[in-house]
Chains A and B, each alone.
Chain A
Amino acid sequence: MSETQVNLRYMVTDVPASVAWYVETLGFTPVGPASPAFAAVERGPLRLLLSGAMSSAGRPMPDGRQPEPGGWARFQFVVDDIGREVERLRGLGVRFRNDIVSGPGGSQILIEDPSGNVVEIFQPAAAFQAAR
Protein backbone atom coordinates (compact mmCIF):
# COMPACT_ATOMS: atom_id res chain seq x y z
CA MET A 1 0.00 0.00 0.00
CA SER A 2 1.41 3.34 -1.04
CA GLU A 3 1.74 6.13 1.50
CA THR A 4 -0.10 8.42 -0.85
CA GLN A 5 -2.97 6.02 -1.51
CA VAL A 6 -6.44 7.39 -0.87
CA ASN A 7 -8.86 4.57 -0.13
CA LEU A 8 -12.61 4.92 -0.56
CA ARG A 9 -15.20 2.19 -0.27
CA TYR A 10 -18.38 2.00 -2.33
CA MET A 11 -21.05 -0.64 -1.77
CA VAL A 12 -22.16 -2.19 -5.07
CA THR A 13 -24.76 -4.72 -6.18
CA ASP A 14 -22.66 -6.46 -8.84
CA VAL A 15 -18.89 -6.37 -8.36
CA PRO A 16 -17.73 -7.48 -11.86
CA ALA A 17 -20.20 -5.13 -13.59
CA SER A 18 -19.01 -2.29 -11.37
CA VAL A 19 -15.36 -2.95 -12.18
CA ALA A 20 -16.19 -2.88 -15.88
CA TRP A 21 -18.08 0.39 -15.49
CA TYR A 22 -15.31 2.20 -13.60
CA VAL A 23 -12.71 0.97 -16.09
CA GLU A 24 -14.67 1.82 -19.22
CA THR A 25 -16.34 5.03 -18.08
CA LEU A 26 -13.81 6.73 -15.83
CA GLY A 27 -10.49 5.18 -16.80
CA PHE A 28 -9.78 3.18 -13.64
CA THR A 29 -7.45 0.16 -13.68
CA PRO A 30 -8.29 -3.10 -11.87
CA VAL A 31 -5.84 -3.89 -9.07
CA GLY A 32 -5.33 -7.00 -6.95
CA PRO A 33 -7.40 -10.17 -6.90
CA ALA A 34 -11.08 -9.73 -7.83
CA SER A 35 -13.94 -11.91 -6.65
CA PRO A 36 -17.74 -11.75 -6.86
CA ALA A 37 -17.62 -10.30 -3.34
CA PHE A 38 -14.92 -7.68 -3.70
CA ALA A 39 -12.61 -5.94 -6.15
CA ALA A 40 -10.48 -2.80 -6.20
CA VAL A 41 -9.82 -0.33 -8.98
CA GLU A 42 -7.29 2.49 -9.06
CA ARG A 43 -6.89 5.79 -10.76
CA GLY A 44 -3.95 7.98 -9.81
CA PRO A 45 -3.80 8.19 -6.02
CA LEU A 46 -7.38 6.99 -5.64
CA ARG A 47 -8.08 3.35 -4.82
CA LEU A 48 -11.78 2.56 -4.96
CA LEU A 49 -12.82 -0.52 -3.01
CA LEU A 50 -15.95 -2.08 -4.53
CA SER A 51 -17.71 -4.24 -1.96
CA GLY A 52 -20.68 -6.48 -2.64
CA ALA A 53 -23.19 -7.96 -0.23
CA MET A 54 -21.00 -11.04 0.23
CA SER A 55 -17.96 -9.10 1.41
CA SER A 56 -17.14 -8.43 5.05
CA ALA A 57 -18.18 -4.81 4.46
CA GLY A 58 -21.57 -6.09 3.30
CA ARG A 59 -22.42 -7.74 6.60
CA PRO A 60 -25.42 -6.28 8.44
CA MET A 61 -24.95 -3.98 11.43
CA PRO A 62 -25.74 -5.17 14.97
CA ASP A 63 -29.09 -3.36 14.69
CA GLY A 64 -29.90 -5.22 11.48
CA ARG A 65 -29.24 -2.41 9.03
CA GLN A 66 -27.90 -3.70 5.74
CA PRO A 67 -25.15 -1.80 3.92
CA GLU A 68 -26.32 -0.76 0.47
CA PRO A 69 -25.30 1.40 -2.48
CA GLY A 70 -26.57 4.93 -2.98
CA GLY A 71 -26.65 7.96 -0.73
CA TRP A 72 -24.87 11.24 -1.41
CA ALA A 73 -21.33 10.80 -0.12
CA ARG A 74 -19.13 10.61 -3.18
CA PHE A 75 -15.74 11.11 -4.63
CA GLN A 76 -15.19 14.07 -6.87
CA PHE A 77 -13.17 14.36 -10.02
CA VAL A 78 -11.87 17.82 -10.80
CA VAL A 79 -11.96 18.67 -14.50
CA ASP A 80 -11.01 21.70 -16.57
CA ASP A 81 -14.02 21.56 -18.89
CA ILE A 82 -17.18 20.14 -17.35
CA GLY A 83 -19.19 20.68 -20.51
CA ARG A 84 -16.85 18.53 -22.55
CA GLU A 85 -16.74 15.83 -19.88
CA VAL A 86 -20.55 15.73 -19.62
CA GLU A 87 -20.79 15.41 -23.39
CA ARG A 88 -18.33 12.49 -23.33
CA LEU A 89 -20.22 10.74 -20.54
CA ARG A 90 -23.61 11.26 -22.19
CA GLY A 91 -22.13 9.72 -25.31
CA LEU A 92 -21.33 6.64 -23.24
CA GLY A 93 -24.93 6.43 -22.04
CA VAL A 94 -24.03 7.25 -18.44
CA ARG A 95 -26.91 8.06 -16.08
CA PHE A 96 -27.02 11.54 -14.53
CA ARG A 97 -28.74 12.42 -11.27
CA ASN A 98 -29.01 16.12 -12.12
CA ASP A 99 -27.90 18.76 -14.60
CA ILE A 100 -24.86 21.00 -14.21
CA VAL A 101 -25.24 23.13 -11.07
CA SER A 102 -23.16 26.25 -10.53
CA GLY A 103 -22.24 27.24 -6.97
CA PRO A 104 -19.85 29.74 -5.39
CA GLY A 105 -16.86 27.41 -5.79
CA GLY A 106 -17.56 26.08 -9.25
CA SER A 107 -19.84 23.87 -11.35
CA GLN A 108 -20.74 20.28 -10.66
CA ILE A 109 -22.86 17.41 -11.89
CA LEU A 110 -23.63 13.99 -10.45
CA ILE A 111 -23.41 10.75 -12.40
CA GLU A 112 -24.51 7.33 -11.16
CA ASP A 113 -22.67 4.04 -11.35
CA PRO A 114 -24.67 0.87 -12.15
CA SER A 115 -25.57 0.45 -8.45
CA GLY A 116 -26.79 4.03 -8.05
CA ASN A 117 -23.69 5.35 -6.30
CA VAL A 118 -22.82 8.95 -7.08
CA VAL A 119 -19.65 10.25 -8.67
CA GLU A 120 -19.24 14.02 -8.85
CA ILE A 121 -17.65 15.83 -11.78
CA PHE A 122 -16.49 19.27 -10.68
CA GLN A 123 -15.03 22.26 -12.46
CA PRO A 124 -13.64 24.88 -10.05
CA ALA A 125 -14.57 28.54 -10.48
CA ALA A 126 -12.19 30.59 -12.60
CA ALA A 127 -10.27 32.06 -9.65
CA PHE A 128 -9.43 28.57 -8.43
CA GLN A 129 -8.41 27.34 -11.87
CA ALA A 130 -6.08 30.28 -12.34
CA ALA A 131 -4.30 29.30 -9.12
CA ARG A 132 -3.46 25.91 -10.55
Chain B
Amino acid sequence: MARPIEGTAALALALALAAGVAGVKAQAPAERADQPGALGVARMRYMVGDIQSSVAFYTGKLGFRLVTQSGPFFALLTRGDVQLLLSPVKGPGGASQPMPNGDKPLPGGWNRIVLYVSDLDGEVARLRGQGVRFRNDIVRGLGGDEILVEDPSGNPIELFQPTAGR
Protein backbone atom coordinates (compact mmCIF):
# COMPACT_ATOMS: atom_id res chain seq x y z
CA MET B 1 0.00 0.00 0.00
CA ALA B 2 2.77 2.37 0.88
CA ARG B 3 4.98 1.63 -2.09
CA PRO B 4 3.38 3.90 -4.73
CA ILE B 5 3.33 6.78 -2.24
CA GLU B 6 6.97 6.33 -1.46
CA GLY B 7 7.90 6.60 -5.11
CA THR B 8 5.68 9.59 -5.73
CA ALA B 9 6.75 11.57 -2.69
CA ALA B 10 10.43 10.87 -3.14
CA LEU B 11 10.31 11.70 -6.82
CA ALA B 12 8.38 14.92 -6.32
CA LEU B 13 10.77 16.04 -3.61
CA ALA B 14 13.75 15.06 -5.71
CA LEU B 15 12.41 17.05 -8.63
CA ALA B 16 11.71 20.03 -6.40
CA LEU B 17 15.24 19.95 -5.06
CA ALA B 18 16.79 19.41 -8.46
CA ALA B 19 14.82 22.36 -9.81
CA GLY B 20 16.27 24.58 -7.11
CA VAL B 21 12.95 25.57 -5.58
CA ALA B 22 13.42 28.65 -3.42
CA GLY B 23 13.58 27.86 0.24
CA VAL B 24 14.40 24.21 -0.23
CA LYS B 25 18.06 23.86 0.47
CA ALA B 26 20.07 20.74 0.83
CA GLN B 27 22.76 21.96 3.19
CA ALA B 28 25.93 19.97 2.77
CA PRO B 29 26.49 17.86 5.90
CA ALA B 30 30.19 18.61 5.66
CA GLU B 31 29.45 22.25 6.49
CA ARG B 32 28.57 21.22 10.00
CA ALA B 33 31.32 18.66 10.46
CA ASP B 34 32.67 20.68 13.38
CA GLN B 35 29.40 20.19 15.24
CA PRO B 36 28.31 17.13 17.16
CA GLY B 37 26.42 14.81 14.87
CA ALA B 38 25.88 15.16 11.17
CA LEU B 39 22.81 17.37 11.47
CA GLY B 40 21.76 19.09 8.28
CA VAL B 41 18.63 20.95 7.22
CA ALA B 42 16.13 21.98 9.88
CA ARG B 43 12.42 21.94 9.19
CA MET B 44 9.18 22.06 11.18
CA ARG B 45 6.65 19.25 11.23
CA TYR B 46 3.02 19.73 12.26
CA MET B 47 0.56 16.92 12.78
CA VAL B 48 -2.78 17.73 11.11
CA GLY B 49 -6.22 16.19 10.89
CA ASP B 50 -6.54 16.59 7.14
CA ILE B 51 -3.83 17.37 4.60
CA GLN B 52 -5.97 18.97 1.92
CA SER B 53 -7.70 21.55 4.13
CA SER B 54 -4.40 22.27 5.86
CA VAL B 55 -2.63 22.91 2.57
CA ALA B 56 -5.50 25.21 1.56
CA PHE B 57 -5.13 27.11 4.83
CA TYR B 58 -1.37 27.59 4.71
CA THR B 59 -1.33 28.56 1.04
CA GLY B 60 -4.54 30.60 1.08
CA LYS B 61 -4.21 32.46 4.39
CA LEU B 62 -0.56 32.57 5.35
CA GLY B 63 1.31 32.82 2.06
CA PHE B 64 2.96 29.40 2.05
CA ARG B 65 3.71 27.68 -1.25
CA LEU B 66 3.08 23.99 -1.83
CA VAL B 67 6.27 22.24 -2.90
CA THR B 68 5.05 18.68 -2.95
CA GLN B 69 2.08 16.69 -1.75
CA SER B 70 1.54 12.97 -1.48
CA GLY B 71 -2.23 12.76 -1.59
CA PRO B 72 -3.78 12.71 1.90
CA PHE B 73 -0.55 11.50 3.52
CA PHE B 74 2.06 14.26 3.34
CA ALA B 75 2.73 17.80 2.19
CA LEU B 76 5.80 20.04 2.13
CA LEU B 77 5.28 23.79 2.05
CA THR B 78 7.66 26.73 2.12
CA ARG B 79 7.43 30.38 3.05
CA GLY B 80 10.71 32.20 2.68
CA ASP B 81 13.24 29.84 4.22
CA VAL B 82 10.66 28.15 6.43
CA GLN B 83 9.99 24.56 5.44
CA LEU B 84 6.83 23.09 6.88
CA LEU B 85 6.02 19.40 6.76
CA LEU B 86 2.41 18.38 7.31
CA SER B 87 1.66 14.84 8.45
CA PRO B 88 -1.81 13.40 9.09
CA VAL B 89 -2.72 11.73 12.36
CA LYS B 90 -3.53 8.60 10.34
CA GLY B 91 -1.50 7.35 7.40
CA PRO B 92 1.43 5.21 6.29
CA GLY B 93 4.05 7.84 7.10
CA GLY B 94 6.49 7.37 9.96
CA ALA B 95 5.24 10.51 11.71
CA SER B 96 1.69 9.12 11.83
CA GLN B 97 2.60 5.98 13.76
CA PRO B 98 1.80 5.62 17.48
CA MET B 99 4.58 5.50 20.06
CA PRO B 100 5.64 2.21 21.66
CA ASN B 101 3.54 3.14 24.73
CA GLY B 102 0.46 3.71 22.56
CA ASP B 103 0.54 7.54 22.54
CA LYS B 104 -0.71 8.90 19.24
CA PRO B 105 0.81 11.99 17.61
CA LEU B 106 -1.79 14.77 17.57
CA PRO B 107 -2.14 18.38 16.45
CA GLY B 108 -2.03 21.20 18.99
CA GLY B 109 0.42 22.11 21.70
CA TRP B 110 2.32 25.38 21.94
CA ASN B 111 5.54 24.92 19.99
CA ARG B 112 5.35 26.80 16.73
CA ILE B 113 6.74 28.56 13.72
CA VAL B 114 7.19 32.30 14.27
CA LEU B 115 6.41 34.45 11.22
CA TYR B 116 7.78 37.99 11.40
CA VAL B 117 5.44 40.69 10.13
CA SER B 118 5.91 44.45 9.78
CA ASP B 119 2.28 45.39 10.51
CA LEU B 120 0.77 43.03 13.06
CA ASP B 121 -2.48 44.99 13.50
CA GLY B 122 -3.06 45.03 9.77
CA GLU B 123 -2.26 41.35 9.41
CA VAL B 124 -4.59 40.39 12.25
CA ALA B 125 -7.39 42.48 10.73
CA ARG B 126 -6.83 40.83 7.35
CA LEU B 127 -6.95 37.32 8.82
CA ARG B 128 -9.95 38.03 11.04
CA GLY B 129 -11.74 39.23 7.91
CA GLN B 130 -11.08 35.81 6.42
CA GLY B 131 -12.51 34.01 9.42
CA VAL B 132 -9.17 32.72 10.70
CA ARG B 133 -9.20 31.54 14.33
CA PHE B 134 -6.93 33.11 16.92
CA ARG B 135 -5.95 31.55 20.21
CA ASN B 136 -5.45 34.89 21.96
CA ASP B 137 -5.35 38.63 21.37
CA ILE B 138 -2.20 40.60 20.58
CA VAL B 139 0.23 40.34 23.50
CA ARG B 140 2.64 43.24 23.98
CA GLY B 141 5.98 41.83 25.09
CA LEU B 142 9.46 43.19 25.72
CA GLY B 143 10.86 42.23 22.33
CA GLY B 144 7.73 42.81 20.33
CA ASP B 145 4.06 42.08 19.86
CA GLU B 146 2.73 38.63 19.12
CA ILE B 147 -0.46 36.69 18.52
CA LEU B 148 -1.29 33.03 17.93
CA VAL B 149 -3.20 31.95 14.83
CA GLU B 150 -4.67 28.45 14.76
CA ASP B 151 -4.65 26.25 11.68
CA PRO B 152 -7.70 24.05 10.94
CA SER B 153 -6.30 21.30 13.18
CA GLY B 154 -5.57 23.62 16.11
CA ASN B 155 -1.82 24.02 15.59
CA PRO B 156 -0.51 27.46 16.56
CA ILE B 157 1.39 29.78 14.24
CA GLU B 158 2.84 32.89 15.84
CA LEU B 159 2.76 36.25 14.10
CA PHE B 160 5.43 38.47 15.61
CA GLN B 161 6.24 42.13 15.08
CA PRO B 162 9.56 43.06 16.68
CA THR B 163 9.69 46.27 18.69
CA ALA B 164 10.98 49.10 16.48
CA GLY B 165 14.75 49.23 16.33
CA ARG B 166 15.25 45.57 17.14
Contacts and interface: CB of A to CB of B under 8 A. Distances in A.
Interface of A: 1, 3-11, 25-27, 38, 43-46, 49, 55-57, 59, 61-62, 65, 67-81, 84-85, 88-89, 97-99, 101-108, 110, 117, 120-121, 124-125, 127-128, 130-132
Given A7-B114, A49-B114, A57-B141, A75 B42 contact: yes
Contacts, number: 200
In the A-B complex, the 4 residue pairs with the smallest Cβ-Cβ separation, listed nearest first, are A71-B109, A56-B141, A103-B94, A27-B35
B113 to A, nearest CB: 6
A103 B97 contact: yes
Given A7-B160, A73-B45, A131-B18, A27 B39 contact: yes
A24 B152 CA distance: 36
B19 to A, nearest CB: 10
Interface residues of B, number: 72
Nearest to B27: A44
A43 B109 contact: no
Nearest to B70: A104
Contacts of B160: 7
B40 A72 contact: no
A75 B41 CA distance: 10
B109 A73 contact: yes
Given A72-B105, A104-B6, A131-B14, 7 more contacts: A6-B82, A61-B135, A72-B47, A79-B37, A103-B93, A104-B5, A128-B13
A88 B155 CA distance: 31
Given A61-B136, A72-B109, A73-B46, A26 B7 contact: no
Interface of B: 2-3, 5-7, 9-11, 13-14, 17-18, 26-27, 29, 31-32, 35-47, 70, 73-74, 80-83, 85, 92-97, 99-100, 103, 105-116, 135-137, 139-143, 146, 155, 158, 160, 162
Given A25-B36, A56-B139, A103-B94, A5 B81 contact: yes
A49 B158 CA distance: 12
B16 to A, nearest CB: 9
Nearest to B89: A72
Nearest to B106: A72
Nearest to B139: A56
Given A76-B45, A103-B92, A108-B95, A3 B80 contact: yes
23 contacts: A3-B80, A9-B111, A26-B36, A43-B39, A43-B42, A46-B42, A56-B143, A67-B110, A70-B110, A71-B106, A71-B111, A77-B42, A88-B36, A89-B37, A97-B103, A102-B94, A103-B97, A104-B2, A104-B74, A106-B94, A108-B94, A124-B13, A128-B14
Given A43-B42, A76-B44, A103-B93, A88 B7 contact: no
